[in-house]
Amino acid sequence: MELMIAVAIIAILAAIALPSYREYVMRTNRTVAKVALQTLAAQQESYTTDHKRYAASFERLGFSGSGTTAYVTTDGSISRSSTNALYSLQLHDDSSGTLASCASLGGTPTANSYRLSATPVAAKTDTRCGTLCMSSTGGRGASISGTEICWRRG
């Protein structure tokens, strides 16, 4: 009888703790992605100071390889390798129109602007915010829920 009570107590505690832990991990991963987006935005501003336009690829921002995709890894670094990736980073030329996954960014795209997005890799899905987005105008958005939830501190 005592063993059954102990097992029941442990089951109740696990049922409470596990969702809280998962939410904590999701928020931590989201913070890593937000820092990566802000780092890339700062690199874009530095690049445009020197070249009078925004970079169209990660290679121009100092990452090896070509293209518009990079990854945020579990240690918070930005890499071209998908090993240990939390989020896939995309660099979008803003002249093509509104970024479909983050229509909430708003604004009128121009040839001299950019949008960045961070999409969770399949195993690390962010069920609250989904894809995080940031634009050269400072706009922030998310594909699932409101900006206030996804971009707030804490």
Convert the pLDDT of each residue in 44-54 to its tens digit: 889 988 888 88
pLDDT digits (tens, 9 = 90+) for 57-105: 888 888 876 667 888 888 888 888 888 888 888 887 655 544 555 655 6
CA angle 78, 29, 99 (to 5 degrees): 70
- Read off the pLDDT of each residue in 114-124 and give the average, rounded to a whole number: 82
* Tally of domains in the chain: 1
Task: Find out whether 80 and 62 touch, Cβ atoms under 8 Å.
Answer: no
Q: What is the pTM of this model?
A: 0.79
Q: Which letter does DSSP use for residue 74 in this model?
A: T
Token pair 């070249």 is found at: 51
The whole-number average pLDDT for the span 131-154 is 77
Contacts for 32 with CB less than 8 Å, ≥ 6 apart: 72, 74, 76, 86, 87
pLDDT-above-90 percentage for the chain:
7
Residue 83, domain extent: 2-151
